[in-house]
């Protein structure tokens, strides 16, 4: 089956989805619709994100839409998986309708953070979303909506990396910085990876984060090394922001064989807390968990084995994409 994946770059996950579909035996092709070529392209994407009503943003969105339409005409797929898709104009969806193209649209973010017109959502289903709240709300409106969580890319090679102490990999938000600073103040050896945390001069200029984060910080890692860093840490933290769905990190940290410490107790929907991963409700509890993962290696190794086993059995990208296949069938 020829399948076209139309997706943002999304930290390389677009390619991961294509690779997983190919492992099923499909002829999978990937079109990254927000790829920005050169200074002009990057300026256009900045306008789309920061000044969406500007003339440059409007022109850029039209160009994104035209390129996506050209991709579907060229590849002539049997089905299309659209990831997010909110930057694509109405002409894109009209083209899929014109071709009577089986499709499904998968959201890895909450609808409130996307730029969909309310009326358009009624026309582009079936819809899948990582957000259980959005899935419920859309279904109550009569839309063909399904809760499909994110998952672990089990086909991604892991580059081993020994990391001293407890790690955090992700964006630098005030709440996260407060947690990491508090851990350091309690004597926990913690390191943060990411452009916003890094003190490298290039990263500081690009991120605008001129203040020191108060913990050891290293540059952003490609996904293979990020997987290795989570695996090679005493423990790795999964700190959510204003989200009701679970991030990729939830399934990746366990999937690579890391000791995951998550800030949400409702992760019990996916994992057994205490044997497959850990959760915390307050700082003192987090401090003690971090200390125990360092001193009680046998206990920590049990978490690694059980969390990875559960992930590979239930929570990979392959599991999620099989769900999506069933939605367009």
| Segment 164-200, tens digit of pLDDT | 999 999 999 999 999 999 999 999 999 999 999 999 9
CATH topology of domain 2-148: Rossmann fold (3.40.50)
CATH topology of domain 166-314: Rossmann fold (3.40.50)
d(CA 327, CA 322): 9
| Segment 215-270, tens digit of pLDDT | 999 999 999 999 999 999 999 999 997 889 999 999 999 999 999 999 999 999 99
Q: Is the peptide bond before 126 cis (omega within 30 degrees of 0)?
A: yes
Closest CA to 6 of 110, 89, 112, 122: 89
Higher pLDDT, 86 or 118: 86
Average pLDDT of the segment spanning 61-85: 95
Query: Encoding tokens for residue 10?
Result: 């999304």
> What is the residue-wise DSSP string for 208-239?
---S--SSEEE----HHHHHHHHHHSSEEEE-
What are the residue ranges spanned by the domains of the chain? 2-148, 166-314
Say if 2-148 and 166-314 have the same CATH topology: yes
Write out the H or E segment, with its range, that includes residue 262: strand 260-262
């Amino acid at each position: 089956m020829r399948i076209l994946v139309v997706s943002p770059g999304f930290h390389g996950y677009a390619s991961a989805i294509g690779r997983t579909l190919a492992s099923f035996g499909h002829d999978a092709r990937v079109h990254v619709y927000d790829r920005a070529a050169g200074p002009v392209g990057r300026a256009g994407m900045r306008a789309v994100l920061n000044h969406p009503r500007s003339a440059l943003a409007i022109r850029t969105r039209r160009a994104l839409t035209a390129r996506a339409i050209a991709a579907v005409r060229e590849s002539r797929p049997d089905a299309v998986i659209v990831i997010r898709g909110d930057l694509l104009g109405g002409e894109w969806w009209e083209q899929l309708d014109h071709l009577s193209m089986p499709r499904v649209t998968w959201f890895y973010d909450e609808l409130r953070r996307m730029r969909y017109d309310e009326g358009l959502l009624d026309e582009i289903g079936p819809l899948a979303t990582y957000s259980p709240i959005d899935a419920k709300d859309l279904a109550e409106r009569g839309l063909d909506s399904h809760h499909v969580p994110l998952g672990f890319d089990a086909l991604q090679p892991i580059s081993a990396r020994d990391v001293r102490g407890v790690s955090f990999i992700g964006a630098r938000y005030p709440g996260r910085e407060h947690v990491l600073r508090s851990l350091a103040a309690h004597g926990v050896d913690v390191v943060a990876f990411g452009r916003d945390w890094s003190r490298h001069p290039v990263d500081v200029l690009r991120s605008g984060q001129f203040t020191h984060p108060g913990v050891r910080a290293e540059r952003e890692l490609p996904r293979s090394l990020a997987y290795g860093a989570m695996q090679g840490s005493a423990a790795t933290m999964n700190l959510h922001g204003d989200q009701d769905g679970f991030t990729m990190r939830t399934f990746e940290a366990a999937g690579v064989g890391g000791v995951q410490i998550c800030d949400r107790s409702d992760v019990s929907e996916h994992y057994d807390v205490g044997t497959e991963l850990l959760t915390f409700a307050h700082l003192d509890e987090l401090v003690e968990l971090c200390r125990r993962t360092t001193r009680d290696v046998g206990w920590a190794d049990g978490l690694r084995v059980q969390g990875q086993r559960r992930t590979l059995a239930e929570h990979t990208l392959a599991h999620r994409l099989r769900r999506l296949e069933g939605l367009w069938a």
